[in-house]
Each structure stands twice: as structure tokens, then as C-alpha cells.
A = this chain, B = another copy of it.
Amino acid sequence: MSEKKIPYKIYLEESEMPKAWYNLRADMKNKPAPLLNPATLKPMTAEELSGVFCAELVEQELDDTTAFFDIPEDIRNFYKMYRPSPLVRAYCLEEKLNTPAKIYYKFEGNNTSGSHKLNSAIAQAYYAKKQGLKGVTTETGAGQWGTALSMACSYFGLDCKVYMVKCSYEQKPFRREVMRTYGASVTPSPSEETNVGRKILAEHPGTTGSLGCAISEAVEKAVSSEGYRYVLGSVLNQVLLHQSVIGLETKTALDKYNVKPDIIIGCAGGGSNLGGLIAPFMGEKLRGEADYRIIAVEPASCPSLTRGVYAYDFCDTGMVCPLAKMYTLGCDFIPSANHAGGLRYHGMSSTLSQLYDDGLMEAVSVKQTDVFEAAEYFARVEGILPAPESAHAIKATIDEAVKCRETGEDKTIVFGLTGTGYFDMVAYEKFHDNQMNDYIPTDEELKSYAAKLPEIK
């Protein structure tokens, strides 16, 4: 089949947008390990989880056999406000790199939250509303998830309470202000509002917070407030399910032009973007219908896949959450203060962890200054200023495209451009002013965190 002339941007028609999310786990032979109750070390039941999460989200969380979940019409209508997102052919980047590789990126940044996080935020808000809840609580680090959830809650008239990692709260007043525009309340974490926050503040008076700690606060607030549940923007199976809309659109767009990717690349923090982007492709791979190289890109300063341990661990610092089996650095691990972007979670989605352990995907880690160099290069060549997170995927893509130049292979590379960097200019400024370094944890450090992992067979 010959390729049709590919436009710079492929937009699907509304009618071509996915009507169901794809649940990758249904096609996995080795299912991801279940969440465990930290008290009993038994798998969490739906009943236990429903104190924390909305009932329908619990169903999605636990179901590893149903391949497709219909996307409710209200959510599809919301999606139409900012989706389908474009699949961009990076002609300018290819030319500049002088590579025979063909590069595409799925751009999820063209919405006010500035990233793909909105895809799951609107779904989680929808089910909360449907269940008759008053509101939801969550944590946010870089601020993208909090912004997305604020928008989603505003749409459905839900109260939204965000615990924002304190250093981000202070460094990113504008992110906070966007959330406020959407009516959310934003509290710097750790705070005096929760037991776990007070405990952490007492033990570490000067702490600027961490994602794991903000999660603990948000969960405590949800379970102790009438009519509230907790929602999370990554890591969970339900989030990967909702984010499959990214991969489904990508696949439909490529299929329209008879394009078959060789390599699929995504940045990976908790795994929400990568899991969503690769979902239908990994599905084909699992079913033996096609083969792809799939590459997770993580920061060298927070290398859960490339240097972590595959074991049960707490999802949060306060150890109030269930245990998940995942590649982890240990729930106390906090990346160097010099680390500027997101992707700072200590663990990785159980689903992706299992796929990685089964050798179905690869992982690489990249250094921070290399990431910002790639980000600036991309901004100048392709005209989009990327989020630091997304720039991890850009860096790995450029590396692969340069290899193609050297070997003369015209591979097709698809990567996820998860968001824009408009609220990350402090980090760009650091980069411009040579104030950024590449601190990488030592083996000894990682060992000391790994030694504290709970012992569970």
C-alpha cells in the first residue's frame, strides 16, 4: 500500500473519535498484580476501595478482562471541546535533523490545562457527579493534573480541593491562579489541615513537600469528608483506561494514511501518558498481530523503571494508600531539588511495570540538561514550546532519529507530546542561565531506599 500525501497535521473527524476506551489489561496474559490492603495484605476489594474512589471507577480499576468500556456521552461531548488532538508530522524536525526517519507526534497540549491530564480528569469528575458526590480531592505536583481536574469539576459543578506540593505552589503562582479561575481551592502541602500533614510538618519543619505526601493529605481529606472521594491523575489502571483515547486516536489517524510505526516513544512518570498512547499498539503486540518497539523515557534523576525494584510498595509517603506492585524507588524517594520538570513519582503504573517486566517494552533514562536542550531545539524547529515532561520523549526521539541518519533506515517514529511549557518558564530560565545540573542518585542512595520496601511475597 502506498502512503497518501501526509498533511502537517492529521485531524480526525468528530465521527472518527473513539466511542469506547480500550482496557489493555484484557489482552495481557500476565495481569498486573492486584492492589493490596496494607492492613491485611489481601487484595483490595471493591467495597474497600469504594471508600476512597467512586463506585464506577472502582469497577474500572479492578476489571482486567473487559476490553472496551463505552465512553459516556457527556464525556464525549466534553472531549469534543478540545479533541480530537492533532497527530503532527514533524516535517521541520526531520529536515533539520537530516534524518530519513519519519517522525509523528500526538500533541495533547492544545487545551487550557496544557496537557493530556484532562482526558482522565473529566472522566473521574463525571463519575463523581453521577454518584451524587459534592466534590473530590487530589494532589498536584507540577500543576497540570490539578488544573485539569479544576476544569473538569467546574464543568460538572463539583467542589475541587487540590493539595499542591509546596515548592510548586510557591514557584508556580500562575498555575494556582488558573485553578482558582476554575473555582478550585488550592492548599500548599504539607498543610495543617490533615493529620498526616501535621505529622510530616512536625517531623520535617522546613519541608517543601512531595507528591507522595500530597497524595496522603488528599486521601485523608476525602475519606474524612462527607460526600467526597479522592481522584488521582496517573499510576492507576482507571487512568490508563481513560488515557487510551490518546492511543486510539493516534492509531485511527495513522491507519487513515496506511502508516505503521516502528517505534513508539512516551515520557513516563506514573505512566498515564505512556500507557494511554501505547494502549492499542501494545494490544496488537499482545495479540500477536503486530510488533513495535515501545520506549518509556524517564528522568535520570527519578529512574523507577531503569534502576528501581519490581516489588510491592506504598503509593504514598504517608502509607495510607493501598500497596501496589510496581517498579519503584521506594515511597520515601524524592528527586533532587534541582530536578525541574514533573515525572517525579517514585513508582510506575502496575500495568506498565508488568509489561516492562515481561520484556514487552524498553526504558531509557535521560539527563535533565539534555532534556532542556532538546526542548529548546524542538521549540525553535517545530514552533511548540514543550513541557519539560514531554521533552523527555523529544530527547529520546531525536536520539532514535539520529541513529536512523547514521544507518540510513527510514523508520517511522511516533511520540507523545503531552503538553506545553508555558507554566514552566522558571525551569527554562534556569536552563538559559546555566543554573541547572544533572544530579543522578547514586547506587548507594537507591539501595538505602530499596532496603526500606515492605517485605511482601
Contacts and interface: CB of A to CB of B under 8 A. Distances in A.
A285 interface: no
A379 interface: yes
A380 B80 contact: no
Contacts of A432: 177, 180-181
A426 B180 CA distance: 12
Interface in A377-397: 379-380, 382-385
A154 B11 CA distance: 27
A205 interface: no
A383 B151 contact: yes
A423 interface: yes
A155 B379 CA distance: 10
Contacts of A112: 379, 383-385, 420, 422
B380 A425 contact: no
Contacts of A384: 111-112
A436 to B, nearest CB: 14
Interface of A: 7-9, 11, 13-14, 78, 80-82, 92, 110-112, 114, 151, 154-155, 173-174, 177-178, 180-183, 376, 379-380, 382-385, 420, 422-423, 425-426, 428-429, 432
A422 B82 CA distance: 17
Nearest to A423: B422
Given A9-B80, A420-B112, A178 B92 contact: no
Contact of A425 (B8, B154, B178, B183): B178
A423 B174 CA distance: 8
Nearest to A5: B14
A11 B13 CA distance: 9
Contacts of A114: 422
Nearest to A112: B385
A428 B80 CA distance: 26
A98 B302 CA distance: 50
A178 B380 contact: no
A380 B7 contact: no
A81 B178 contact: no
Contacts of A7: 13-14, 80
Given A174-B425, A432-B180, A383 B8 contact: no
Given A13-B7, A112-B383, A428 B177 contact: yes
Contact of A183 (B81, B380, B382, B429): B380
B425 A422 contact: no
Contacts of A382: 81
A85 to B, nearest CB: 11
A182 B426 CA distance: 15
A155 B385 contact: no
Contact of A182 (B110, B181, B379, B423): B379
Contacts of A154: 380
Contacts of A13: 7
